[in-house]
């Protein structure tokens, strides 16, 4: 047996390396052509004047007082949003991890709905709650639109699920007997949690905080709708400089700043994840959740339910209510007409456009993301492959506005003249969906025993057959979940789509933004109606995901 192992074991490795390179080829080409090239082109165009590089423009832009205020606001609002989200969401992470109560599965889906909603819908929902003529304005005369508090609350609303899912997922698998052992040795409940549980949760809390910071640092739709002219993040300023002032050099500098910041954030995130891969004593999550015991746990459960109702459910409920303000479904009926002058077609056609684009984007994202995840999951990955893993996350943080405008100035001549093609929108949406596919499928693929793949390869199976016979049966359900996330994310993409969607084929987020940008109660009501439709479609997709997840894990 030792001789056989000596002769056979080295054989799969060259095939494995060749297979990894083959799997990486299409994702690398896709990200190079549709991400790196457009971003590099628009930055180069902004920093080249009369054919010569003008790198001094970087210091000139950064020295402008207005740009300094944008950088400062972007940073401190992201820090404040992250701290506030952790403060509000960590109790929820505990409740979903350790407590069992009726309706938990449905409530978990409700909590996650805001995260998959487009930022335009989030902004619209809070505008209906805290804006002029909104719910709080009618009830108590309180208005928060145009203030930083509206932005911060909307960011907590959007990112609550990030903390609950990331921290709660690990918390549910921590063996509670470790903390109980500390209690038996005389430690108080607080000290046992502080010395045993908190250090184990540290990497998950740090990872959640970094992800929230990333999403809020690059915030666009929320700040644009709720912040008003007084507040601008880097992403909003890039959009303003590109589409309104046509100052590409300033937009290029801001893109480089955002790129550097996001790269640093992703680097810290990768380091945190590696630290989190230490040996923890984990158990089945279904065994750690118990019915609330004692007044303290029941009070905590009640507080979390109240927070979810006020912070997450109320804005969405007000959004739906505002969409029905006109008698006889007036706002929904108006969506079928073109007499408003805002669109070349009836606004309701945006629903069909968005669904078609999202389906195409999902197919592209699943193909690219699955190949990338399969390559990353193979053993013996070197620095090049780990660097590819980090690059896959960049589209989530780099300016979508830059990507969209980059599409217009690069994909305009053969063999890639796609400006008039419908595929341009799905390609941009797939850039955002593919990282979610990778992050969903990678843990499952890494859990597949490598010896199964090696045995299949030794028996003569091709890499494609190894994937089809070994990996696919195991990861089929994860693939469906990844497709659902890619669909929801593609459905709500706004930053790039706002540049490349044709006037006669608007998507739902673009249509909502256009309606909100025009005065009048009819346009406002139609925006609420379209946002409600988009919210329902996203919620249905998420409920399907939750059902698949619980069927896979057996959780109730």
pLDDT in tens, 165-195: 878 877 777 767 776 676 777 767 777 777 7
90 — pLDDT class (breaks 50, 70, 90)? very high
Is pLDDT of 368 > 90? Answer: yes
pLDDT for 416 equals 82
Write down the H helix ranges in 378-471.
Answer: 383-397, 400-410, 424-447, 450-458, 463-466
Q: In the Cβ-directed half-sphere of 20, how many Cα atoms lie within 13 Å?
A: 20
Is pLDDT of 367 > 70? Answer: yes
Query: Tell me, what DSSP letter sits at residue 229?
Result: G
Write down the H helix ranges in 9-103.
Answer: 12-31, 37-47, 56-62, 65-98
- Burial class of residue 442 in the structure, from the number of CB atoms within 10 Å of its CB (0-12 exposed, 13-18 middle, 19+ buried): buried
Higher per-residue confidence, 252 vs 540: 252
* Tokens matching residue 277: 């891969």
For 520-533, the pLDDT digits (tens) are 888 888 888 988 98
**Do the Cβ atoms of 269 and 204 come closer than 8 Å?**
no
Higher per-residue confidence, 228 vs 305: 305
Is pLDDT of 276 > 70? Answer: no
Predicted model pTM: 0.78
Of 430, 297, 257, 304, whose CA–CA distance to 359 is shortest?
Answer: 430
pLDDT for 160 equals 93
For 419-438, the pLDDT digits (tens) are 778 899 999 999 988 888 88
Residue 422, SS3 per DSSP: coil
Is pLDDT of 50 > 50? Answer: yes
Higher per-residue confidence, 386 vs 90: 90
Of 543, 547, 553, whose CA–CA distance to 111 is shortest?
Answer: 543
């Amino acid at each position: 047996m030792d001789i056989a192992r000596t002769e056979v074991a080295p054989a799969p490795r060259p095939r494995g390396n060749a297979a990894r390179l083959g799997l990486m080829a299409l994702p690398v080409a896709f990200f190079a052509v549709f991400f790196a090239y457009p971003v590099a082109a628009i930055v180069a165009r902004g920093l080249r004047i009369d054919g010569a590089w003008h790198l001094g423009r970087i210091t000139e832009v950064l020295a402008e007082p207005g740009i300094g205020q944008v950088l400062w606001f972007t940073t401190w609002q992201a820090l404040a949003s992250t701290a506030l989200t952790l403060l509000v969401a960590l109790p929820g992470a505990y409740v979903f991890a350790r407590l069992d109560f009726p309706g938990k599965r449905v409530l978990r889906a409700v909590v996650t709905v805001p995260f998959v909603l487009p930022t335009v819908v989030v902004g619209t929902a809070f505008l209906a709650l805290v804006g002029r003529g909104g719910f709080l304005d009618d009830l108590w005369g309180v208005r928060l639109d145009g203030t930083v508090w509206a932005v911060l609350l909307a960011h907590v609303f959007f990112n609550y699920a990030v903390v609950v899912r990331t921290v709660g997922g690990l918390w549910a698998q921590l063996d509670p007997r470790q903390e109980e052992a500390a209690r038996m040795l005389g430690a108080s409940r607080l000290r046992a949690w502080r010395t045993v549980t908190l250090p184990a949760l540290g990497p998950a809390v740090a990872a959640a905080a970094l992800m929230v910071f990333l999403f809020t640092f690059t915030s666009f739709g929320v700040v644009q709708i709720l912040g008003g002219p007084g507040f601008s993040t880097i992403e909003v300023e890039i959009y303003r400089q590109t589409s309104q002032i046509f100052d590409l050099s300033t937009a290029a500098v801001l893109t480089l700043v955002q790129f550097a910041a996001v790269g640093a954030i992703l680097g810290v995130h990768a380091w945190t994840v590696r630290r989190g891969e230490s040996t923890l004593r984990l158990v089945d999550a279904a065994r750690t959740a118990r019915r609330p015991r004692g007044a303290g746990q029941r009070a905590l459960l009640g507080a979390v339910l109240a927070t979810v109702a006020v912070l997450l459910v109320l804005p969405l409920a007000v959004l739906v209510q505002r969409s029905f303000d006109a008698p006889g479904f007036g706002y929904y009926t108006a969506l079928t007409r073109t007499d408003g002058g805002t669109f070349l077609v009836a606004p309701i056609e945006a629903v069909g456009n968005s669904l078609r684009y999202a389906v195409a984007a999902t197919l592209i994202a699943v193909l690219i993301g699955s190949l990338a995840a399969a390559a990353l999951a193979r053993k013996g990955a070197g620095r090049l492959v780990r660097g590819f893993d980090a690059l896959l996350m960049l589209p989530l943080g780099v300016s979508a506005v830059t990507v969209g405008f980059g599409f217009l100035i690069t994909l305009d001549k053969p063999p890639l003249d796609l400006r008039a093609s419908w595929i341009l929108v799905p390609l941009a949406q797939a850039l955002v969906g593919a990282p979610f596919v990778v992050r969903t499928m990678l843990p499952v693929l890494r859990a597949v025993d490598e010896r199964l793949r090696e045995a299949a390869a030794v028996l003569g199976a091709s890499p494609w057959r190894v994937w089809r016979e070994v990996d696919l049966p195991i990861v089929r359900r994860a693939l469906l979940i990844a497709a659902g996330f890619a669909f929801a994310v593609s459905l709500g993409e706004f930053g790039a789509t706002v540049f490349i969607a044709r006037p006669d084929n608007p998507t739902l987020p673009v249509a909502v933004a256009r309606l909100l940008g025009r005065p009048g109660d009819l346009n406002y009501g139609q925006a609420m109606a379209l946002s409600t439709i988009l919210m329902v479609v996203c919620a249905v997709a998420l409920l399907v995901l939750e059902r698949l997840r619980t069927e896979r894990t057996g959780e109730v």
